[in-house]
Amino acid sequence: MLAAVAPSTSGQRVGTSEVSRSARTRQALHEAAMRRFVADGVNQTSVADIAADVGVTERTFYRHFVSKHAVLFADYDIGFEWFARALALRPHGEPITQSVRKAVDAFPFDFEMVREAAIIRSRDLDQEIITGHIRRLRDQLAAEIQRFIRRRSAITADGAMIADIAAHSLASAVFIALETWMAKGVHETDDLSRLTDMALSALEDGLTHTLRKAGLD
Which domains occur in the chain, in start order?
6-65 (1.10.10.60), 71-213 (1.10.357)
Using the predicted structure, report yes or no on whether residue 65 has a pLDDT greater than 90.
yes
CA dihedral 37, 38, 41, 46 (to 10 degrees): -30
Q: Residue 5 has what pLDDT? A: 28
Rounded distance, CA 117 to CA 38, Å? 9
Burial of 147 (0-12, 13-18, 19+ CB in 10 A): middle
Q: Residue 82 has what pLDDT? A: 87
**Greatest alpha-carbon span in the chain:** 57
Burial of 59 (0-12, 13-18, 19+ CB in 10 A): exposed
Q: Give tens-digit pLDDT for 71-102.
A: 999 888 878 888 999 999 999 889 899 999 99
CA angle at 214 for the pair 209 and 217, rounded to the nearest 5°: 60
pTM flag (> 0.85):
no
Strands 6-7 and 13-14: antiparallel
Q: Give tens-digit pLDDT for 149-200.
A: 888 876 777 788 888 999 999 999 999 988 888 777 666 666 888 899 999 9
* Summary mean pLDDT of the chain: 84
Using the predicted structure, report yes or no on whether residue 18 has a pLDDT greater than 80.
no
3 phi, psi to nearest 5 deg: -75, 155
Q: 3-state DSSP call for residue 171?
A: helix
DSSP character at residue 72: G
**Mean pLDDT for the stretch of residues 117-125:** 91
